A and B are shown apart, each in its own frame.
Chain A
Amino acid sequence: MLLGSLASRSPVVSFGIAFILLGEVCRAINPPEPFTRAPYLQFSSPHLMHVVWRTAGPIRPNVRFGKDLRQLDQQVRAMDIVVRAALGTHDQKLLARWAPLVTKANLALPKLHSAPLGTFQYEVRLKDLEPSTTYYYAVYDGDRRLTPEHASFQCVTHPPVGAVQPVRFWALGDGGTGREPQSAVHQAMLQTLEREQHPLDFWIHVGDMAYGIGRDMEFQSRFFESYDVTLRHKVCWPTMGNHEGHTSSGRTGIGPYYDAYVVPTRGESGGLASGTEAYYSFDYANIHFICLDSHDLDRRPGEPMARWLKADLEKARADWLIAFWHHPPYTKGSHDSDKERDLIEMRQHIMPIIEQGGVDIVLTGHSHTYERSMLMDGAYATNTVAENVILDDGDGNPSGDGAYRKSAGIHPHEGTVQVVTGNAGANLGRVGTLPVMREVVLEHGSVLIDVHGDTLVARMINREGVERDLFSVVKRGQVAPVRLALPWQPPTWVKPTNTVSIPAMPALDHRVLIPEGAAWRYVFDPIPRGMAWTYADYDDDGWHSGESGFGYGAGVYKTGLESMRGKHGILYVRKAFDIEQADRITEMGLWIDYDDGFIAYLNGREVARAGVGRSSGRNAQKVSARGEKEPGPRYVVLKDAHKHAKDGANVLAIEVQNASLESSDLRLNPVLILED
């Protein structure tokens, strides 16, 4: 009933409640037992494929595979299975059920970083496969089949290197929020593929796949569970974004990002062996792909990554060269390549190597927008200008100004098209327009690229499945590039004056830990002293019991507090709840309606605050009246909840502050939400 009454307040409320309901209905989103990460494909070649999955606790891993779904007549050998485990560090407490796993043999396994304790990861290499061949696979625990007999558990090996055939891949970036736009972009792409009856061959993620800091659980819910239907049968080739860079290091090659992905380091998929998972290359048909780490490695020409890039390009003989990394050399989306050091260095140090090597397309993200350049070369200056760096200022659309033309084969300085596709889920942003850009679309979406023979076609598909940009590059005959002294210029961008901020929302994949109407303990007279009342072991026997929401004044409350009016300005509430395994938390948040301000504590640690400036309790300062501009409930992330939550019993405590004793109302209606 209260959800209904809240919903009548504003569209914001309706939207949020819908999310909660959806989350309740769809809570079985986590992988089915015994998987904690469903099987997904990793790096491949004409003769290789990798299948990776995770379980809680060990299994006897095996993969059977074959060309017939009903006849999986091959299986991997034990030596082709890498096992990793998360058994904690010396100061972590293991749940009792995991204690037997702490054996000498298990402790000798390669370590998973920040994965929930008890997690085992299996990386299985399928070898000696035939090129361009579909194989079905099934994961087993000994003789027990764990995956169903379903055609989606399949993989297709690469065509022979150099083969001229249609190739389709998906490129996206900055999607890993777990929120609705990410799902919409994914669905739009799936629907496009279905409509066109043309599946992907593989996909490329240009980074920021696990907001906010690339923790293992953020990878789990915001990448693996979000894209599971695609991951199980299409290889995702990744590059690390700055958000993953909070917890993973390209310099050392460790962290959740490096745990999650298996990429070629010894040239197994073509190209020059990099010896590191931070950067690598691979061949697919007549295309050579190059992945760089733009986040935390030295970008200067004499440093290892640039030396490897140059050497890899010296060897590459494909018809097409496509490079991808996270930080765009050219952007004025939510980032500015004329101001930010990482972006400037990619432009000044890496782009000259890329362009003398003859690269055709550069795919990046980081900037939360879609931007696509004209055919350009040699724009290394800061600030970026278009004069004499544009080789074709048309729109690149065969139905418009015509495709961009380059000579057949690979030639230096015949032009590169820059595609920034950081629009796959995170909030969008734009600070201006770079003069080298031909299209800027501030919409959520991703890029679908088709290459066939001498023709490449790239399309930006928005979240509704609508094509919002199309350009083509044709490499045929001999083309003499000409630098345009005065190329076409995009219109100046004027920042809109009436912008609408999208409020924070819970992740799609969530469940409610403390629902509306739950019984809480509360008190307002006498007020508790100190902070002990926020602790899990505080004795609240003397407190009242009541169901949320609480309040007086306008509105209907399950627990009316009219007696507070004019006498008491602070309400304290506590509620115990259980979490089975705290390290499985991706995010906790409050869907909370409040008036005027509140401070929330999890097991004694402050995790959220709104409308209260400083301090707390009787000493609270700058409590501001909640205005009409921001009515109704909102979603508030509980900061670092994964650090403060415990296995078993936990306590959420909230103090609600009124701006003054004369206030006409007080309100608190909290719903605790867990993303796991």
Chain B
Amino acid sequence: MNFAISAVRILRGALACLLVGTFWVPAAEAHEGPEHEIEELTALIDAGRGDFETFIERAIEYRVLGRFPEAMRDLEHSIRLNPGSLHALRELARVQFIVGRTNAAIDTVSRALQVKIEEPVDRGGLLVQRAEMLRAQGQYRRALTDGDDALGFHSGNPEWYLLRSDLQRRLKMNRKRIAGLEEGLKQTGAGILAIERIEAQLDAGQYRAALKAIEPELESARLRGGWLVRRGRARLGLGDKAGGAEDLRTSVAGIEARLDRGRPDASLLLDQAMAWVLLGDRPAALRNYELARDKGGDPELAERIRELASP
């Protein structure tokens, strides 16, 4: 057994450094940016030596630069060269979805699901990808079927439970939603599932259970704004109008102190907007909603707030 290799490595490193120092000046030209990569891959392709992976690589670089038509063209070509490439199909679906070609994206994922897939988790991933697309089209039931099936293939991803929870919320399947989140929490331990379960309990009118879960979180939190909104909502639900309103006002003020109005964090805007909705200040909520929407805030939550705040 020779663990003295480190000494050899150091010696070799030193010698190599010496050689480099003697002969070489570091290059100052760009090496690896996407434009450079595209140039190199294009040269390869133009010389007739691009295989299906070369086209995927170039497509990814095009996607990074936001050049989606070129990315789709390369991915489609890659799939023609290798119709069984899960990588290419998944990437194509991703780009199609980004540019709003949702039907085509769904078709692409469906096609990918026909390919021989070694890993159950990969099949689950494709189903989740399709569920997200179906959700964007408002096809919540079909999306939920995919979401459920995905979790049958792999039960360890908290994001998949969140997706299913969102679909169940839209379909007003409160009990299943809470049970599903509990299952996810058991499987993954993810903190965001515990938070989502509280949201689900609030949505289901289970205010007492929610309050019980909120109190320790509020106690330990450094930033309390979001938790105060949740407790305010629970208290209002339990008929404690004064306590609930106090929580919400405290939350609004706390969030305001953290918000940089010139460059606001969209998620904070939406937390505050929810507090205003519950306080009955719909114009203030709508102002935040519009700002959050422009800043790329969670479109689902923003939409909920818009619905709640609209007269």
* A interface with B by C-beta (< 8 Å): 11-12, 14-15, 18-19, 22, 25-26, 28-29, 32-33, 38, 89, 146-148, 150, 152, 180-181, 183-184, 186-187, 190, 228-229, 249, 251-254, 265-267, 272-276, 300-304, 306-308, 310-317, 334-336, 339-342, 348-349, 352-353, 355-357, 368, 377-378, 380, 388, 410, 412-413, 426-431, 442-444, 463-464, 495-496, 499-502, 508, 606, 609, 613-615
Contacts and interface: CB of A to CB of B under 8 A. Distances in A.
Contacts of B265: 301, 352-353, 355-356
Contact of A273 (B3, B25, B121, B189): B189
B125 interface: yes
B74 to A, nearest CB: 16
Interface string B45-65: 001110000000000000111
A25 B259 CA distance: 61
Contacts of B33: 334-336, 429, 431
Contact of B32 (A312, A313, A368): A368
Interface string B90-120: 0000000000000000000000000000110
Contacts of A253: 121, 156-157
A499 B28 contact: yes
B223 A357 contact: yes
Interface string B11-35: 0111111011011111111111110
Interface residues of B, number: 83
Nearest to B190: A275
Nearest to B194: A273
Contacts of B22: 11
Contact of A276 (B122, B190, B266): B190
Given A180-B20, A184-B20, A22 B15 contact: yes
A314 B221 contact: yes
B159 A276 contact: yes
28 contacts: A19-B16, A32-B2, A187-B10, A228-B6, A229-B9, A252-B124, A265-B188, A265-B190, A272-B192, A273-B189, A273-B190, A275-B188, A276-B157, A276-B159, A302-B267, A302-B299, A308-B190, A308-B191, A312-B191, A335-B33, A341-B64, A356-B258, A368-B32, A429-B27, A442-B26, A495-B28, A499-B27, A502-B26
Contacts of A228: 5-6
A380 to B, nearest CB: 6
A418 to B, nearest CB: 16
A427 B48 CA distance: 27
Contacts of B23: 11-12, 14-15
Contact of A428 (B27, B49, B162, B184): B27
A302 B6 contact: no
Contact of B8 (A26, A148, A249, A353): A26
Nearest to A463: B17
B298 interface: yes
Contacts of A12: 23
A380 B158 CA distance: 29
Given A273-B189, A275-B158, A341-B66, 14 more contacts: A15-B19, A150-B3, A181-B20, A252-B122, A254-B119, A307-B162, A339-B65, A352-B263, A413-B258, A413-B260, A427-B31, A429-B36, A444-B26, A500-B25
A313 B223 contact: yes
The 7 residue pairs across chains A and B that have the minimum distance between CB atoms: A302-B298, A275-B190, A275-B188, A352-B265, A275-B158, A272-B191, A378-B263
A355 B6 CA distance: 42
Contacts of A502: 24, 26-27
B262 A378 contact: yes
A304 B20 contact: no
Contacts of A412: 257-258, 260
Contact of A429 (B13, B29, B188): B29
B237 interface: no
Contact of A180 (B17, B162, B190, B192): B17
Nearest to B57: A246
B147 interface: no
B13 A310 contact: no
B267 A353 contact: yes
A348 B16 contact: no
Interface string B131-155: 0000000000000000000000010
Interface of B: 1-3, 5-6, 8-10, 12-17, 19-20, 22-34, 36, 47-49, 63-66, 118-119, 121-122, 124-125, 128, 154, 156-159, 162, 184, 188-193, 195, 220-224, 226-227, 257-260, 262-268, 295-301
B117 to A, nearest CB: 11
A174 to B, nearest CB: 9
A310 B189 CA distance: 17
A523 B113 CA distance: 50
B7 to A, nearest CB: 9
B34 A315 contact: no
Query: Which of B16, B34, B156 neighbours the largest number of chain A CB atoms within 10 Å of its CB?
Result: B16
B260 A356 contact: yes
Contacts of B125: 249, 251-252
A428 B260 contact: no
Given A22-B16, A148-B1, A614 B48 contact: yes
B60 to A, nearest CB: 9
Contacts of B27: 427-429, 499-502
Contact of A317 (B6, B195, B222, B264): B222
Nearest to A10: B23
A427 B195 contact: no
B191 A274 contact: yes
B296 to A, nearest CB: 6
A304 B267 CA distance: 12
Nearest to A413: B260
Given A442-B26, A613-B47, A410 B192 contact: no
B65 A340 contact: yes
